[in-house]
Amino acid sequence: MQEIQLDEKILSKIDFKANEEKDITITGMIQNLRVLGWGAFLILRTPEYTLQTIIDKNNINIPPDELLVESTVSITGTVKPATIKDKALNPRDYEIHVKSIEIIAASALKELPADTTKKELNVHLDTKFDLRPLTLRHPRERAIFRIASTIAREFGDALGRLGFTQIYSPKLVASGAEGGANIFKMDYFGREAYLAQSPQFYKQMMVGVYGRVFEVAPVFRAEKHDTSRHLNEYISLDLEMGYIKDFYDLIKVESLVLKSIFEKLESNCAHEIELLDIEIPKIDKIVTIKFKEVHEIIFNEFKKDYRAEKDLAPEEEKLICQYSKENWGSELLFVTHYPSEKRPFYTLDDPDDPGYTCSFDLLFRNVEITTGGQRLHVYDDYVKKMTSLGMNVNNFESYLQTFKFGMPPHGGLGLGLERLTSQICGLANVKEASLFPRDINRLEP
Ligand code: AMO
């Protein structure tokens, strides 16, 4: 038997102020090494910090020019106050004057295939993705995924405070939830199965259990087009909520959650926000507009006639976002009442406006980041709607039993994590907000 003590040394935070003029030992990887006549600046990357350390070549056990970038080292030195301008560093008010270095694991390469020590990672997008284990170590890449991680965590925390229970639904499924051709088929012990396009069916089933649920998980879309807003696998932030009055309840919940996310980013990611030079949006009101009205505004204000279209064209999304920012002072715009034929079968039709649905999209900085809406909740309504759409009800029996057992009025939404992250971080392509993007040409790394 071996008893292991709970060791506070596993904590990664250092109180630099309390350690001023004292010696500490800190382990990390060499982010950057600038060897100069007198010694070197060694930038150490630890789980918590990107720290400047200073080596005096006459007072060190290893000559600085023998060190390799991306090696793991343990550094012992004195904590000194400093004023450093480099935005990639955190903290910038302290540095370490090195006394000794121990190489724990040297990088195998003298020269790395991408230069992660430069301010900008100047590589082609494909190279950036091919070399992901290395390029993700660049400060800007690290900042993007700290932001994504904070968004996903606060999504759950904010919903937890509102009484939502986190669920984990299967990704190997027997039927597609969203319709359309963008579904991956696979062999499941001789049967046809699919990769889940969304947790739609399961989150609805779970409303009957917990009333309010959420999930943060990958979903799969067999998009055959290589666009700047589509991934074949993305992280979907989903929620589903029972006992709603109407779908505006969902819009209110999403606005509250996004407000919490934006506030959390301001408080926890100040360093990343500064490094990426980005602005976090403010939410002080909720602006909604009907789908039909968007077509009218685009026609009247921009002389583009999309009025016969049953969906919003990317150009319209862009123009209406600009219009909203300028005229209504909001970067977030909820477009409501989409046409029935463009919404999945589970969407509730608007009783006051046949042909249109009790659903919405959220547009943010020119892009759709969310789809949501109220669902049907009565078994017979499902059978009627699916039959009218030519769907085989028998294929959906295990889902439809939910509604036989009784379900409250409910609705929910799906928010694409990469789309939200890329719009917050000002990225040109949603793939840049995916750690290991999957597109029509890419399955590695
Ligand atoms: P939808 O299919 O509109 O709705 O997806 C919801 C949100 O997911 C994101 N998204 C994508 N992100 C990256 N690549 C893609 N290929 C991609 N496709 C969608 C977008 C989109 O707004 N079940 C419904 C949601 C609901 O009603 O609860 C659904 O999945 O941000």
What's the pLDDT tens digit per position in 236-274? 999 999 999 999 999 999 999 999 999 999 999 999 999
Q: Answer whether the bond into residue 445 is a cis peptide, omega within 30°.
A: yes
Pocket test for ligand 1, best of 169, 236, 348, 438 (most atoms within 8 A of CB): 236
231 CB within 6 A, ligand 1: yes
What's the pLDDT score for residue 118?
A: 93
- How far away, in angstroms, is 419 Cα from ligand 1 center? 9
Q: What is the mean pLDDT of residues 345-369?
A: 97
- How far away, in angstroms, is 415 Cα from ligand 1 center? 6
223 CB within 6 A, ligand 1: yes
CATH 3.30.930.10 residue spans of the chain: 139-433
437 CB within 6 A, ligand 1: no
User: Which pair of tokens denotes residue 251?
Assistant: 């819009």
Task: Please tell me the distance from the alpha carbon of residue 140 to that of residue 41, in angstroms, as a whole number.
Answer: 20
CATH 2.40.50.140 residue spans of the chain: 8-105
372 CB within 6 A, ligand 1: yes
8-105 maps to CATH 1.10.10.10:
no
Decide if 41 contacts 31 (C-beta within 8 A): no
Task: Please tell me the distance from the alpha carbon of residue 419 to that of residue 412, in angstroms, as a whole number.
Answer: 18
- To the nearest 10 degrees (0 to 180), the angle between helices 291-302 and 314-323 is 80
- How far away, in angstroms, is 164 Cα from ligand 1 center? 20
What's the pLDDT score for residue 8?
A: 64
Residue 429 CA: distances (Å) to CA of 34, 136, 312, 436, 441:
32, 16, 20, 13, 15
**Protein residue closest via CA to atom 6 of ligand 1:** 414
**Protein residue closest via CA to atom 8 of ligand 1:** 416
Which atom of ligand 1 lies nearest, measured to the CA of 221?
16
- How far away, in angstroms, is 176 Cα from ligand 1 center? 14
Share of the chain above pLDDT 70, in %: 99
388 pLDDT band (50/70/90 cuts)?
very high
Confirm whether pTM is higher than 0.85: yes
What's the pLDDT score for residue 372?
A: 98
Decide if 43 contacts 50 (C-beta within 8 A): yes
Task: Please tell me the distance from the alpha carbon of residue 14 to that of residue 29, in angstroms, as a whole number.
Answer: 17
> Is the per-residue pLDDT at 5 higher than 70?
yes
What's the pLDDT score for residue 432?
A: 98
> Is the per-residue pLDDT at 286 higher than 70?
yes
Least confident of 107-111, 195-199, 286-290: 107-111
Which atom of ligand 1 lies nearest, measured to the CA of 412?
28
369 CB within 6 A, ligand 1: yes
204 CB within 6 A, ligand 1: no
* Amino acid sitting at position 53: T
Q: What is the mean pLDDT of the chain?
A: 96
Task: Please tell me the distance from the alpha carbon of residue 57 to that of residue 64, in angstroms, as a whole number.
Answer: 7
DSSP structural state of residue 290:
E
176 CB within 6 A, ligand 1: no
Which residue is it, tokens 């042909």?
Answer: 355
Question: Which helix (H) or strand (E) segment is 53 a member of?
Answer: strand 50-56
**Protein residue closest via CA to atom 24 of ligand 1:** 414
Which residue is it, tokens 């030079």?
Answer: 277
Which atom of ligand 1 lies nearest, measured to the CA of 368?
22
What's the pLDDT score for residue 336?
A: 98
- How far away, in angstroms, is 3 Cα from ligand 1 center? 49
What are the tens digits of pLDDT across the range 141-192?
999 999 999 999 999 999 999 999 999 999 999 999 898 889 999 999 999 9
State which CATH number among 3.30.930.10, 3.40.30.10, 1.10.10.10, 3.90.1300.10 fits the domain covering 139-433: 3.30.930.10
> Is the per-residue pLDDT at 11 higher than 90?
no
**Protein residue closest via CA to atom 21 of ligand 1:** 370
Closest CA to 145 of 423, 434, 443, 420: 434
What are the tens digits of pLDDT across the range 314-354?
999 999 999 999 999 999 999 999 999 999 999 999 999 99
What's the pLDDT score for residue 161?
A: 98
Three state DSSP letters for the chain: CCCCCCCHHHCCCCCCCCCECCEEEEEEEEEEEEEECCEEEEEEECCCCEEEEEEEHHHCCCCHHHCCCCCEEEEEEEEEECCCCCCCCECCCEEEEEEEEEEEECCCCCCCCCCCCCCCCCCCHHHHHHCHHHHCCCHHHHHHHHHHHHHHHHHHHHHHHCCCEECCCCCEECCCCCCCCCCCEEEECCEEEEECCCCHHHHHHHHHHHCEEEEEEEEECCCCCCCCCCCCEEEEEEEEEECCCCCHHHHHHHHHHHHHHHHHHHHHCHHHHHHHCCCCCCCCCCCEEEHHHHHHHHHHHHCCCCCCCCCCCHHHHHHHHHHHHHHHCCCEEEEECCEHHHCCCCECECCCCCCEECEEEEEECCEEEEEEEEECCCHHHHHHHHHHCCCCHHHHHHHHHHHHCCCCCEEEEEEEHHHHHHHHHCCCCHHHHCCCCCECCECCC
